[in-house]
Amino acid sequence: MSRVNHAVWVFPLLSVSPLAFADSAQSQSNGFIEDSSWSILNRTVYDQRDYKHGARNSGARNAYKPRSERNGLAEEWAYGLMGTFSSGFTQGLIGVGVDAHAYLGVQLDSGGGRAGKARLLGVDNEGHPKNEYSRGGAAIKMRVSNTVLSYGEQRVKTPVFSSSDSRLLPETATGFFLTSSEIDTLKFVAGHFNESTDRNASSHDQGFVVNYSNGRQGNTFDLAGIVWNPGAAFSGSLYTSRYEDSWNQSYLGSTITHALDDRRSLSLDLNLYRTTDTGKALSGRIDNTTWSLVGRYAQGPHAFSLGWQQVDGNTPFDYVTRGAIFIANAVQMSDFNAPNEKSWQARYDLNMGAYGVPGLNLTALYVRGFDIDGTHVDPNGGYAYLGYGKDGKHWERDLEARYVVQSGKAKGTTFSLRHNVHRGDTAQAELDGDQIRFAVEYPLTGGF
C-alpha cells in the first residue's frame, strides 16, 4: 500500500470558493482539441570522454561498466527524436486530457567499440551499444479549477524527484503527480511513483534510477512540497519525500534577488537537503545534511558567482532520478557530494549580446572539493563499494559556449559546446577524465 497520506491529494481544494472556480484555468478551457499542442525536438549529441586514473575504483557514475572499460576513450555520436503531444482539457467542472510522448535514439557512430560508455545510447544485455532504441508513454490528466492530477508516464521537475534531460533522450517516471495553484503566490505539489526510466533505457520495468547506492531498491517514492513566490525578489520551496525502506529526504530552497540599479543586481541561492534512513534501511545507515550557498553579482552582460557546498555525514549525498540534485556544485563530471566533503566554486558568465552577438553565452567555472572522509561509511550498506578514503580531494573545470539562433526559419536552434576536465586522488570516487560534448537541437512546435 502507498505510504502517501491520501489527504494530500485533496487538501488544495478544500478551501476554494465557488468564485475561484469561476475564474480559473479550467473555466477558461476551450476544449480537448482546441487547446492541444505538439512539439518535435531533433537533437544530435557528440560525446567524447578520455578516462584516465584517479579514483580507487570506478565511482558511482561508472560502476555499471565492466572494469576493463572504465579507463580509456569513450566516444559516442547519436541522434535523438523526441515527439510530445499535450491535449487541452475537456470543458466543465472537471476537465480531462492526455499527454503523450515518443522517443527514438539512433547510433551515428560507435567506432572501434568506444560507444556505450557515455550513456547516450542504449545497451544490450552484454553491454554492447544498440543501433537504435525507443520508448513511449502517456499520462491521463484531470483538472479542477487550478489543480491538475495526472497519472501515467511523465516528466517531473522537483528538487527531490526530477526527470533529467542532460543526455540524448529525457528521463521519465511512472505514477501520480499533482500540482495545485489555487492561491496566486503558492503552488502545492504531491506525487507517488513506482518507477523511473533512465535516459538511455528502452524498457519501463527497471525500478528506480538511484545514483550512488548499490543496495536493494525500494518499491515506491512519495513526495509533497510547497513553492512560495510572493514576488520577483524572492522565491522559496519546502519538500518532503520518502524512498520506501531506504531514506526520508527533506529539502529547503530559496532565492533572493536585489536590483542595485538597472544594470546591476545581487542574488543569493540556498539549497539544503536532510536525508536519514528509514524502514528496512536497504542502503544502510544514513544521517546526511548537504547544503550549498551561492552569491551572484551581475553587471550588464557580466555575472560573477562564488559558492560553497558542504556534506555533513558518513555517506555521499544520494538521490533518486538523475535530475533531483539542486546543490550548486553538482556540475558536469562530479557532484562533489562525497562523505564530509567541502567544496567551493567560482564562475563567470558572459552574454555576448552586448558585443553584437545576441544569443551567444559563454560560461567558465571551477570547483575544488576537499576534506573527503568516507572511512566511517556503513560497511554493510549501499556505499561501501565506492571505497572512499580519508583526506580526499579533487577539482573540475568546465567551459561552455551556447548559441541560440534568434530569427529566421532556424529560430530556436541551439548549439552547445562543452569542455570539461576532472582530476582527483584515490580517496575520492570519481575518475580523472577529459570530456568534449557538442550538441545541436532543432525544435518544431505547433497547435491544432
Confidence of residue 3 (pLDDT cuts 50, 70, 90): very low
How many angstroms separate the CA atoms of 111 and 44, rounded? Answer: 17
pLDDT digits (tens, 9 = 90+) for 57-101: 444 444 433 333 445 788 899 999 999 999 999 999 999 999 999
Are 203 and 209 in contact by the 8 Å Cβ rule? The answer is no
Are 342 and 373 in contact by the 8 Å Cβ rule? The answer is no
How many angstroms separate the CA atoms of 372 and 59, rounded? Answer: 14
Share of the chain above pLDDT 90, in %: 81
Partner residues linked to 198 by β-bridges:
none
How many angstroms separate the CA atoms of 136 and 426, rounded? Answer: 41
Q: What is the arithmetic mean of pLDDT over 27-52?
A: 95
The single-letter DSSP state of residue 281 is -
Are 230 and 248 in contact by the 8 Å Cβ rule? The answer is no
Beta strands (DSSP E) in 204-299 are: 221-231, 234-243, 247-259, 264-277, 287-299
Q: What is the arithmetic mean of pLDDT over 329-358?
A: 97
pLDDT on residue 142: 98
Look up cell 580531494; give the residue. 393
Are 396 and 434 in contact by the 8 Å Cβ rule? The answer is no
Residue 188 neighbours by CB distance under 10 Å: 19
- Domain residue spans in the chain? 6-12+39-447
Beta strands (DSSP E) in 328-432 are: 342-351, 360-373, 390-404, 414-424
- Which grid coordinates belong to 135? 520508448
How many angstroms separate the CA atoms of 141 and 269, rounded? Answer: 33
Residue 18 neighbours by CB distance under 10 Å: 7
pLDDT on residue 64: 36
Phi, psi torsion values for 407, nearest 5 degrees: -155, 175
At the fourth CATH level, the homologous superfamily of domain 6-12+39-447 is Porin (2.40.160.10)
Q: What is the arithmetic mean of pLDDT over 11-38?
A: 76
pLDDT digits (tens, 9 = 90+) for 278-297: 999 999 999 999 999 999 99
In this structure, the dihedral spanned by the alpha carbons of residues 401, 407, 412 and 414, taken in order and rounded to 10 degrees, is: -20
Which has the higher per-residue pLDDT, 330 or 54? Answer: 330
pLDDT on residue 111: 58
pLDDT on residue 68: 36
Q: Name the burial class of residue 262, with classes exposed (0-12), middle (13-18) and buried (19+) by CB atoms within 10 angstroms of its CB.
A: exposed
How many angstroms separate the CA atoms of 345 and 111, rounded? Answer: 36
pLDDT digits (tens, 9 = 90+) for 173-232: 999 999 999 999 999 999 999 999 999 998 887 899 999 999 999 999 999 999 999 998
How many angstroms separate the CA atoms of 236 and 395, rounded? Answer: 30
Are 423 and 439 in contact by the 8 Å Cβ rule? The answer is no
pLDDT at 103 over 80: yes
Beta strands (DSSP E) in 131-233 are: 132-144, 147-154, 172-180, 186-197, 221-231
pLDDT on residue 112: 53
- Which grid coordinates belong to 192? 507517488
- Which grid coordinates belong to 178? 499533482
